[in-house]
Structure 1
Amino acid sequence: MQIIKLDATESTNTYLKELSAKKEVQDFTIITTENQTSGRGQLNSKWESERGKNLAISILKNRINIPVDRLFLMNVCVSLSILDSLNRLNIPNLKVKWPNDILSGNFKIGGILIENIISGSKIKRSIIGFGLNVNQSEFKNAPNASSLKKIMGHDFNLDSVFYAIIENLHQQLNRPILTFENELYKQYHSQLFKIGVKSNFLIQKEEPIEGVIEGVSKNGKLKVKLENGSLQEFGLKEIRLQY
C-alpha cells in the first residue's frame, strides 16, 4: 500500500489515472487531497467540497479477476465496505442509494466513482474514487447533502476516518469477491435505499412514474416493479429516483 497526499488537485481519480498511464503503479496505491477542486460524480456531476473539511480518495486496484458483465460487483463490494466503516463510527440510518451514493437518512454524505480499465472480457484494474463529507457544515448547491459533523454534532479526525475506510477496503478487496457474489448482493439489497417501498421516478425525458425497487441485477441495472405489475430493468442514464 502506498499513500500519496496532495495539497490540491482537480480530481484524485484523474490524477491517479494519469499517473498509472505514465508508469507502473503498485497495487492499492492511494491518492488523497485536502482540496479537490473539480471532483466528479456519476455522469460528470460536480462534487461540492470545502478545503480541509472532507475526504477525497482514489485507490488503484490491480489484478481484478472479474468479467466485464459483473463489473457492478465492485460497486457492491466498495459500498458495503464503506457502510461497515461508517457503522463502526456510529453514523445512523446508513443506506446505499443505487448506483453510487452513501446516505444517512435522506441525506447524501458520500459518493463513489469507479472507473475500470478493461482487457478483453475482464477488468484489468479499477480506479476507485470516494468522496465523504466529514466536517463541512454548509452546502450551497446540494440541498440533499449532509456530513458526519452535521449528523453527529461534532468534528471528526480526518486521518482516523481515512484510515478506518482504507483499511477496511484493503481487506475486502483482497478477497476473491466473485466467489462471494451472491452473499455480497444479499447484503447490498439489505442496505439498498427505498427497496420494497413505493417511490416516484423520472424516466426517459423526465417522464414521471411510480414503482417499487425490487433490487439490482448482477449487471448493475435497477429492477423496478411498475404499477402495471411488470418488472423492468433500468440502466444508469435511464431512471432517476425522486426523494
Structure 2
Amino acid sequence: MDDGITRVFKKQESKANLGTKFVGLKIYAYDLVTSTNDLAHFLARNNEPEGSVIFAKGQTQGKGRLGKSWVSPYGKGLYFSFILRPDMPVDQASRVTLTMALAVATALTGMHVADVTIKWPNDILIGEKKVCGILTELSLLEDRIDYIVAGVGLNVNMAKGDLPKDAISLKEANGREFDIADLSHIIIKQIDHFYALLLRHRFWDIIQKVKEYSGIILGGRVKVSWEDREVEGYAVDFGENGSLIIRRDNGFLEKISSGHLTKL
C-alpha cells in the first residue's frame, strides 16, 4: 500500500517508448486505485521525476474540481495523472490546465471525434456534454511551484446509463468502442508536445489554439461563480495566464482566473 492512500492490484512500471521528450518517459499502470491524483502526489513528494504518468483502469474515489467526484467505472474510461515540475511562478499555474485541455482536444480531433470544444477552465465537451475533465493541483515551495499534479478523466467506452445526465462518452458520441491504451498514448504525445511549447514560453501560441476550440463560450453570455462571488457578462477573450476576460454589462472588463462557468 502506498502510504495508505490507495488500493493497488497488479502494479506495473514501464519505460514507455512513445518518442516523447518530457511526458510519459515513465508510466505506472495500476488496475484499481482510490485516485490517480492522490497516488501522483505521494510519488511526487518522494522525488518522482517530471513527466511520470500514473494510469489506472478504475478509481474508487475519483476526484473532480470543486470537491466533486469523477465517475470512474473499471475498464471503461481513461484515468491518469501527470507529475509536472515547471519552472514558473504560481500565478502562471493556470496555464498548465489550458495546455492539458488543448492537448486532449487536439488528440480527440485527430481521432475523428466531431464537435470537440473546450469549456474554460478545465472541461472538454462533445456538443454541450462533458466528455473529459482536468483537475490540476499544486504543491508550493515558498513562492514557486514545487510540482503540479494534473489529472485527466476521460469517458471512453461507457454506456449512457453509466454517466451523469450532462456527460457523454466517446462510445456514445461515435457509435463505436475505442482502444483505451492506444488513446492514452495519443493523448500523452499531445500533452508532451504542448507542454514543451509551454516550457519554451510559447503560451501565446497555445492560447490561440485554445480559442479555436472555445467557440461554445467566447462571444456568448456566461456566469462564473467562485467562493462568495459571481460575475455575469460576455466572454470576450483569454488573458496572458489563461484567465477568462468577461465584459460586464457596465462595460467593465474583468479577468477571472478560475471558477465554475455556466452558459446563459
TM-score, normalised by the number of residues in structure 1: 0.88
8 Å CA contact 2:134, 2:151 repeated in 1: yes
Cα displacement (A) at 1:178: 5.1
Q: Does 1:37 align with 2:60?
A: yes
Q: Does 1:16 align with 2:17?
A: no
Out of 147, 153, 171, the residue aligned to residue 131 of structure 1 is 153
Distance in 1 between residues matched to 2:148 and 2:224, nearest whole Å: 30
Q: Does 1:185 align with 2:185?
A: no
Out of 157, 163, 169, the residue aligned to residue 147 of structure 1 is 169
> Matched residues, percent identical?
25
Match of 2:81 in 1: 58
Alpha-carbon deviations, 1:112-153, whole Å to 9, x = none? 011122223332321111000000012566211001100100
8 Å CA contact 2:53, 2:80 repeated in 1: yes
Match of 1:2 in 2: 26
- The change in CA–CA distance for 1:208 and 1:218 in structure 2 (over 3 A counts) is closer
Distance in 2 between residues matched to 1:11 and 1:106, nearest whole Å: 27
- The change in CA–CA distance for 1:161 and 1:203 in structure 2 (over 3 A counts) is closer
Distance in 2 between residues matched to 1:187 and 1:112, nearest whole Å: 18
Q: Which amino acid aligns with 1:127?
A: V
Cα displacement (A) at 1:50: 1.6
Distance in 1 between residues matched to 2:163 and 2:106, nearest whole Å: 28
Distance in 2 between residues matched to 1:228 and 1:90, nearest whole Å: 42
Alpha-carbon deviations, 1:24-74, whole Å to 9, x = none? 212211111111111111111111122110000001123x12221211111
Which moved further from structure 2: 217-226 or 152-161? 217-226
- The change in CA–CA distance for 1:220 and 1:155 in structure 2 (over 3 A counts) is same
Structure 1 unmatched runs, 5+: none
Equivalent positions of 1:1-243 (< 5 A) are: 1-21=25-45, 23-62=46-85, 64-139=86-161, 142-177=164-199, 179-201=201-223, 203=225, 211-237=233-259, 240-242=261-263
8 Å CA contact 2:125, 2:131 repeated in 1: yes
| Equivalent position SS for 1:76 | helix
What's the RMSD between the two structures over aligned residues? 2.4
8 Å CA contact 2:218, 2:236 repeated in 1: yes
Cα displacement (A) at 1:208: 8.5
Q: Which amino acid aligns with 1:50?
A: P
Which moved further from structure 2: 213-222 or 68-77? 213-222
8 Å CA contact 2:197, 2:203 repeated in 1: no
Distance in 1 between residues matched to 2:219 and 2:213, nearest whole Å: 13
Q: Which amino acid aligns with 2:239?
A: S
Q: Which amino acid aligns with 2:64?
A: G
Cα displacement (A) at 1:88: 0.8
Distance in 2 between residues matched to 1:201 and 1:9, nearest whole Å: 35
Distance in 2 between residues matched to 1:206 and 1:92, nearest whole Å: 37
Which moved further from structure 2: 80-89 or 187-196? 187-196
Cα displacement (A) at 1:100: 0.4
> Size of the alignment, in residue pairs?
240
8 Å CA contact 1:108, 1:146 repeated in 2: yes
